[in-house]
Amino acid sequence: MGSSEISDFEYFAPSSILEVSKLLRNLTRNANAKFLAGGMSLLPTMKVGLVSPSIMIDLNRIKELKQIVLNKTRLRIGAMTRYSEVLESKQVGKLFPEIYDCVSEIGDMQVRNRGTVGGAVAHADPSGDLSSCMVSLGAKLVVRGAKGVSKELDISKFFQGPFTTLLGPRDLLTEIRIPIDSKHMHGGAYVKLERTAGDFAIVGVAVSLWRDKKSGKIVRAGIGLTSAGDRTLKATDAEKLLTSSPLTTGLLDGVTNSIAAATDPSSDVRGDKEYKKEMFRVISERAMNLAIERAGLRVPR
Ligand SMILES: Cc1cc2nc3c(=O)[nH]c(=O)nc-3n(C[C@H](O)[C@H](O)[C@H](O)COP(=O)(O)OP(=O)(O)OC[C@H]3O[C@@H](n4cnc5c(N)ncnc54)[C@H](O)[C@@H]3O)c2cc1C
């Protein structure tokens, strides 16, 4: 076998979540199963021999995994919802502009037509854009084990390292839930610095803010960082700072410094570590200003 050949595998294309659970339960202990979503990351890694599943479970026929459902308390996005479907959803763009900013910057049209929200989060690429938005929005992940029992995981604890998450080998991510806080006014933004359109981020910053409708005080802040270290980072110190005192340029300087200090990017073809840390300062300022404006606030000069 040549190095660019994909090893043989058994292929299954179930049409329901129940069928997936049944399939998983019947696998032998040493079967190496992989879920196929958009294939945008899985297939390239198979082609270079980094992953060689013996069983491929194609999720593309499962309609239950492809829905966007909104109610008063949360937005639910099925794991097999494609990026392009997220962009087409007026509800998502209106409620959470940071998701729209982010998804519209992922890859090119082909990638957005195939790639899925579940695949992006499960793949756990520290350079993946969507995970940062989900971190800033405090998303919950619904995971169904092979026994058919579902649990909800907090995204802030989900990423364990590069391409490593709390998902077990037979856990299916079924849905992402984003809480809706209708008591407060929301504003959010995702800003990405890239070498060329469609490239992965040199740095990316997602900012989500919630403010009191009357006083304007920021009551909650979420900040997720792309390409900032060995996993998607949550800038908890900077989040706390943002809610600690009234908005001033001084406070924003403190927040951008805190964000840059929290990052540990690696030097690579996209830039060296010091350059990237500086860019986190610049890009987080842009993301914050946009989120502040979208939350209907102004920073006194
Ligand atoms: C040319 C190109 C440019 C790109 N540019 C960007 C970019 O700018 N920004 C960016 O963020 N990404 C980029 N990507 C990556 C893209 O976003 C991928 O689509 C995404 O990372 C994986 O989504 P997928 O649906 O294709 O998943 P797949 O490739 O099918 O799967 C990825 C992994 O997740 C697992 N998986 C998938 N679905 C589930 C599930 N429901 N439950 C459990 N495990 C699951 C699979 O088994 C596999 O291990 C790019 C990709 C390409 C090819």
Between the CA of 90 and the centroid of ligand 1 the distance, in Å, is: 23
Q: What predicted TM-score, i.e. pTM, was given to this entire model?
A: 0.96
DSSP state of 156: G
What is the distance in A from the centroid of ligand 1 to the CA of 168? 17
> Are 87 and 100 in contact, with CB atoms under 8 Å apart?
yes
**Which residue has its alpha carbon closest to ligand 1 atom 33?**
123
35 lines ligand 1 (CB under 6 A): yes
Q: What is the C-alpha end-to-end distance of the chain, expressed in Å?
A: 66
Give yes or no for residue 4 having a pLDDT over 80.
no
Kindly state if the Cβ of 173 falls inside 6 Å of ligand 1. Answer: yes
Count of Cβ atoms closer than 10 Å to residue 80 Cβ = 25
User: Could you read off the pLDDT of 99-132 as tens digits, one per residue?
Assistant: 999 999 999 999 999 999 999 999 999 999 999 9
Q: Give per-residue pLDDT as tens, 200-235.
A: 999 999 999 999 999 999 999 999 999 999 999 999
Give the residue, by CA position, lying nearest to ligand 1 atom 10.
128
The band of 1, judged by pLDDT with boundaries at 50, 70 and 90, is very low
CA-to-CA distance for 166 and 153, rounded, in angstroms? Answer: 9
User: Any residues with CB less than 8 A from the CB of 96 and at least 6 apart, and which?
Assistant: 75, 133, 137, 178, 186, 188, 208
Six-digit token pair at 33? 């199963």
Q: Ligand 1 centroid to 40 CA: how many Å? A: 5
Q: Is 102 in the pocket of ligand 1 (CB under 6 A)?
A: no
Residue 300 has a pLDDT of 84
Alpha carbon of 140 to ligand 1 centroid (Å): 19
| C-alpha pair distances (Å), 69 with each of 10, 50, 94, 98 | 33, 36, 14, 18
Q: How far is the CA of 238 from the centre of ligand 1 (A)?
A: 29
Q: How many angstroms separate the CA atoms of 28 and 11, rounded?
A: 15
